[in-house]
Amino acid sequence: MIADEWMTLDGVVQAPSYPGEDTSGTFRHGGWHARYLDELSMSWVVDNVRGAGGFVLGRGTYEIFASHWPTAPQEQSALAEPLNNLPKYVASTTLHEPLGWSNSVLLPGDLGPAVRTLKAQAGADLHVIGSPGLVRSLLSLDLLDELRIMLDPLVLGGGKRLFPHDAAHRALQLLHSDVTSTGAIILTYAVGKPVTDAG
């Protein structure tokens, strides 16, 4: 289970793509990420999506994606094709089946057992895109294996963050890093178990 995230230096992951993406909490900085994309980071995004065996999404990210990708323009086909055609598993207690986006189903029952069942199946890695609340839950359940972050060189001072203030002490192992032409850093971490002694 791999999480793919765009993040600011102060840990904000809210509304990276466009101004109206998520204005909850009076967030006014939507669309902060686009200026940091370059050829390297776009290849990273495409490789992550095209290399996935399927996607696990929170409700908010699912609804944003479902409203865009089925009718995405031709120039976005490298991402639209796998996002539309691969299986999508949605963690939500408010949505009901059938879901409108093709190849999408709700995760049944409690998150932990449902995701453990998915992880036990053969096939390529499952990717979580965005969905910060879901990522926090997967971390707390020790179900996240890898964290891939594009860290943008800016500070927003507010907004939804990936890691809660009361998160467990957890060691990450750096597997790979790249610096883009825009100053953003692409980081891949293996996610360790919680550390019981902060030492």
Distance in angstroms (rounded) separating the CA atoms of residues 146 and 2: 5
pLDDT in tens, 141-169: 999 999 999 999 999 999 999 987 766 78
Of 10, 17, 76, 74, residue with least CA distance to 49:
76
Q: Is residue 16 part of a domain?
A: no
Q: Which domain holds residue 127?
A: 2-11+39-157
Does some domain include residue 194?
no
Which of these, 66, 133, 58, 63, lies nearest to 90 by C-alpha position? 58
C-alpha 163/C-alpha 74 separation (Å) is 35
Q: What is the pLDDT of residues 59-87, one digit of tens each?
A: 999 999 999 999 999 999 999 999 999 99
In a domain, 195, yes or no: no
107 contacts 89 by C-beta, under 8 angstroms = yes
Is the residue at 106 inside a domain? yes
Question: What is the domain count for the chain?
Answer: 1
CATH value at residue 68 = 3.40.430.10
Domain membership flag for residue 69: yes
**CA gap 156, 150 in Å, rounded:** 15
CB 85 within 8 A of CB 50: no
Q: Is residue 93, in this structure, part of any structural domain at all?
A: yes
For residue 186, which of 46, 6, 51 has the smallest C-alpha distance? 6
* 193 — pLDDT class (breaks 50, 70, 90): confident
What is the value of pTM for the model shown?
0.92
pLDDT in tens, 83-92: 999 999 999 9
- 178 in a domain, yes or no? no
Handedness of CA 133, 1, 36, 151 (dihedral sign): positive
122 token code pair: 């053969």
- Element of type H or E holding 67: helix 59-68
User: Does residue 184 lie within any of the structural domains?
Assistant: no
- As a whole number of Å, the end-to-end CA separation of the chain is 29
> Are the beta carbons of 2 and 128 closer than 8 angstroms?
yes
